[in-house]
């Protein structure tokens, strides 16, 4: 099957319905799988600003860590959502894989991954406490064992589309910005822009938050919903939040400022029925950026690329 991604109808057809109630158990399981893989990456990679060294990336078949150093070698861990397997390979040609399927508990995933890593001579230890999502330690979690291939496939195909739109949007900015990356702690795909100025340190912030918000930031992202927000959504926020931010109108008409937290939101279900979801998403991100940059005093013209955006 092939698609002309320049055509509005083809792009629209790939923004599948993703009702949280239909796949929440699978999402919670997949989130924990991703935390295990992300913590493996965390244990291998040299620190990078704003924790960019620990993230996952959307690939043509699923999600990937990219190369991780180990001794004189590198290895990659890939979620293949086409064949529904976890695949690990190293720079010396070693490899192993195992099936991702309904009934594979988080604990079993952990054991299969670390057992396989040992066969490649990779011996690692991670903090098995799930990060910010509660529940049993990852190596003992037998409760989360749902894997609906249909919904995992939908989620990944959405990420493929969003990843490309985010990358196009990133080309409009001439300053420091992050890669488009999936933060496994919160399970959201994100892109971050920076003014270059340091931000005031947050009172009582843990070391993760302190590093993430060390500089002024305007963030954009997509997340599939959670216990608080029961539908997938696109978001943007400016930190530190400037006074007057939420007085600025957002585009398109369906976008809005959240009542608490001053986060700009565009619900995914509203976007997916638009005639041109890509153009609509770009419009939302641009309007949120303009609002944040305006009220935070960023030099918008200096950050504009030669393309004229």
Q: How confident is the prediction along the chain (309 residues), in pLDDT tens digits per residue? A: 232 333 344 444 568 899 999 999 999 999 999 999 999 999 898 777 777 788 999 999 999 999 999 999 999 999 999 999 999 999 999 999 999 999 999 999 999 999 999 999 999 999 999 998 989 999 999 999 999 999 999 999 999 999 999 999 999 999 999 999 999 989 999 999 999 999 888 877 777 777 777 889 999 999 999 888 889 999 999 999 999 999 999 999 999 999 877 899 999 999 998 989 999 999 999 999 999 999 999 999 999 987 655
Q: 156 with 97, same domain? A: no
171-210 residues labelled b (16+ CB within 10 A) or e (exposed): ebbeeebbebbbbbbebbbbbbbbbeeeeeeeeeeeeeee
Q: 240 with 195, same domain? A: yes
Q: Is residue 142 part of a domain?
A: no
Q: Is residue 308 part of a domain?
A: no
Q: How many helices (H) and strands (E) does the chain have?
A: 7, 12
The residue segments making up the domain with residue 290 are: 149-296
The count of structural domains within the chain is 2
CA end-to-end span of the chain: 34
Proportion of the chain in helix, strand, coil states, percent, rounded to 5: 35, 20, 45
Q: Work out the number of other CB atoms within 10 angstroms of the CB of residue 170.
A: 18
* Residue (of 280, 288, 230) closest to 257 by Cα position: 288
Going by their DSSP bridges, the two strands 264-267 and 188-198 should be labelled as unpaired
Q: 99 with 166, same domain? A: no
> What is the pLDDT at residue 200?
85
**What single DSSP character describes residue 175?**
S
Q: Is residue 64 part of a domain?
A: yes
> What is the pLDDT at residue 66?
95
* CB distance 67 to 80 below 8 Å: no
- The pTM of the whole model exceeds 0.85: yes
Q: 288 with 173, same domain? A: yes
> What is the pLDDT at residue 11?
47
The strand pairing partners of 215, in sequence order, are 198
Half-sphere exposure of 169 (CA within 13 A, CB side): 30
> What is the pLDDT at residue 266?
97
> What is the pLDDT at residue 190?
96
Q: 199 with 263, same domain? A: yes
Q: Is residue 9 part of a domain?
A: no
């Amino acid at each position: 099957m092939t698609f002309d991604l320049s055509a509005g109808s083809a792009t629209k057809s790939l923004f599948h319905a993703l009702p949280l109630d239909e796949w929440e158990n699978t999402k919670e399981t997949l989130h924990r799988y991703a935390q295990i893989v992300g913590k493996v990456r965390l244990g291998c990679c040299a620190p990078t600003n704003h924790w960019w060294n620990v993230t996952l990336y959307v690939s043509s078949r699923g999600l990937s860590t990219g190369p991780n150093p180990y001794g004189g070698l590198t290895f990659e861990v890939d979620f293949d959502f086409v064949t529904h397997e976890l695949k690990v390979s190293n720079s010396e040609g070693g490899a192993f894989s195992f099936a991702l399927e309904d009934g594979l508990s988080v604990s079993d995933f952990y054991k299969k991954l670390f057992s396989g890593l040992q066969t490649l001579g990779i011996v690692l230890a991670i903090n098995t406490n799930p990060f910010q999502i509660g529940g049993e330690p990852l190596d003992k979690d037998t409760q989360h064992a749902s894997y609906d291939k249909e919904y995992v496939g939908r989620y990944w195909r959405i990420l493929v589309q969003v990843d490309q739109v985010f990358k196009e949007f990133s080309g409009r900015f001439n300053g420091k910005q992050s890669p488009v990356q999936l933060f496994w702690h919160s399970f959201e795909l994100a892109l971050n822009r920076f003014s270059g100025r340091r931000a005031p340190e947050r009172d009582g912030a843990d070391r993760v938050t302190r590093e993430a918000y060390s500089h002024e930031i305007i963030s954009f992202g997509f997340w599939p919903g959670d216990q608080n927000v029961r539908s997938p959504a696109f978001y943007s926020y400016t930190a530190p939040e400037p006074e007057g931010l939420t007085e600025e109108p957002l585009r398109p008409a369906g976008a809005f400022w959240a009542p608490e937290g001053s986060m700009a939101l565009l619900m995914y279900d509203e976007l997916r029925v638009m005639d041109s979801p890509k153009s609509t998403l770009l419009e939302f991100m641009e309007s949120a950026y303009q609002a944040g940059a305006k009220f935070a005093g960023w030099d918008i013209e200096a950050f504009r690329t030669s393309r004229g955006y």
